[in-house]
Structure 1
Amino acid sequence: MKRSGLLASVLIAGLCAMNTETEAFPVSGAAWSEAQWEQHCKNVKTTYNQASPFATKELTLKPDDPRFLDFLYWVWANKIIEHQVEQVGGTEWTGPTNGVIFHWAPGSRWETHTVVPFEHAIHHIADEHNWRDNMFKEFFEKFGPVTGVNIKQRLSFEKPPTWVQFLAHVGGAESPYYRYVFHQESVIDPEKRIVTLFGGQGVIFQYTFDRYLTEIKEVVTDCKAYQFFELYDRYGKGFASQSGWAGQAVPHQ
């Protein structure tokens, strides 16, 4: 699949021209900047960072750390990796066109954008989400029969329907899919080390813990998890992952 082509370039330019000029990634007032995160975490000491400040550029927590399972539940509870894709060039702002823009954790302290290479984004939405053309019938029927095939079989970078057109359809400001296909966690299985996620259009898929951690690292650093480490020290193992740990009533199934 070719990344560039005359048609794709024209479409990208057209989409960017329609966007409102913005100099930086637009996020809500709730989001903390990198400088704000560093200011908040710089003097915090926990059992995880006794000898040095929290890392501000990476997440160093490993799956074999006893804190790890609680960390996954803490990420879920804070909705940190919930995200949606935007149209190429940004939705209602002028952004990068060299990949697909992912908008993470809207309305939270962790809110941010990242730019994902086209190949990775296509794998994510076509292979992991397993999106089909009949899930977006009103878009694909303009280009031929809708047969229930994976969208990767219908889209290209040069010949319509293109990936740029499709991302504008699902990620544009007026799209009914913009928030609806937003995916989020539904179950964490510690025994199988699997996280089940769901999204709009009946999508359900699974990540291994390692794959889930890769996604978390798009947003979270040690510094941005400083409150987790404080809570873990305060309450101990199981505080986020075990129901009823504090003696509160748990509904019987």
Structure 2
Amino acid sequence: MKQIAWFMLGCASVIVLAVVVCAEAFPVSEAAWSDAQWEQRCKDVRTSYNPTARLRTDALTLKPDDPRFVDFLFWVWANKLIEHQVERVGGSDWNGPTNGVIFHWAPGSRWETHTVVPFEHAIHHIADEHQWRDTMFKDFFERFGPVRGVGIRERLSVDQPPTWVQFLEHIGGPESPYYRYVFHQESAIDPDRRVVTLVGGQGVVFEYSYERYLKEIREVLTDCKAYQFFELYDRYGKGFASKAGWAGQPLPKR
């Protein structure tokens, strides 16, 4: 079925040992739903968020000032929607685009997808937001001289070794021990401060504002792809995802 789906995308295909290699299609697991499948599932959904119109399939319109928003963040976290890994340029184990850095989102889920972001955006994300340092990747940087304990932005170049492409190959290649290990995931949501705390491999901890976190969510979700959240919110009410023990279930003693 996967071979047929890729062929129908109109990509140039080469069959090698019964595997279709496509330079255009983003490979995803069988769990992932296509845009057409999402649209089919959400087209007749009406909730308090969209009582008279279809949910948008091209954008996520929920905003931080909406009373649903905190529950929405916890729902996103519970579904692991923004967990992602950075792939090497050109894709890990597939022939992908080389005009940016590939982000692989929500692997193994119905929301699984890829996006390609400009190099400068990706560099800011992993160098400045994650605050990666050369000491965290000694096996790579020691090939180019002593480890200095500085940020990777100071060590990497676009055209002179060690390059960003070489580094992304090292951490994003299919055999890399960092491939999934370094991707970040939520560890806490603080509604009072309006921040989300995230952790990643190699001891990384950082915070996103609600607005910054929402930018990542929009890489994966549209209103349509969040239709089950809107249904659950209407069914159970405010706090259904964010308030521990709301149904009367016992909580661990502290």
Secondary structure in 1 matching 2:21: coil
Q: Give CA-to-partner distance per residue, 1:193-222, whole Å, 9 cap, x none.
A: 010000100011100000000110000000
Distance 1:40 1:252 in 2: 41
Counterpart position of 2:224: 223
TM-score between the two structures when normalised by the length of structure 1: 0.91
| Cα distance in 2 for residues equivalent to 1:159 and 1:62 | 42
Number of the residue aligned with 1:202: 203
Q: Distance in 1 between matches of 2:198 and 2:131?
A: 13
Aligned to 1:13: none
2:241 paired residue number: 240
Give the Cα separation in 2 of the matches to 1:157 and 1:91.
Answer: 20
Q: Secondary structure at the match of 1:51?
A: coil
Partner of 2:90: 89
Q: Per-residue CA shift, 1:210-250, capped at 9, x if unaligned?
A: 00001100000000000000000000000000001111111
How far, CA to CA, are the matches of 1:148 and 1:30 in structure 2?
Answer: 41
- Name the residue aligned to 1:106: 107
**Which blocks of at least 5 consecutive residues in structure 2 are unaligned?**
1-19
Alpha-carbon distance in structure 1 between the residues aligned to 2:94 and 2:247: 46
State the superposition RMSD in angstroms.
0.8
Aligned to 1:21: 21
Question: Residue in 2 aligned with 1:177?
Answer: 178
After TM superposition, give the deviation of residue 51 of structure 1 in Å.
1.4
Tell me the percent identity. 76
Once the two structures are superposed, the pairs formed by residues 20-169 of structure 1 within 5 Å of their partners are: 21-22=21-22, 23-169=24-170
Greater relative contact order (Cα < 8 A, sep 6+): 1
3-state DSSP class of the match of 1:21? strand
Whole-angstrom distance in 1 between the partners of 2:125 and 2:160:
21
Rounded to whole Å, the distance in 2 between the matches of 1:198 and 1:53 is 36
Residue 21 of structure 1 deviates from its aligned partner by 3.1
Letter in 2 for 1:21: V
Structure 1 portions without partners, runs of 5+: 1-19
Aligned residue for 2:137, secondary structure, equals helix
**Matched AA of 1:116:** V
C-alpha separation in 2, matches of 1:119 and 1:250 = 45
TM-score computed with the length of structure 2 as normaliser? 0.91
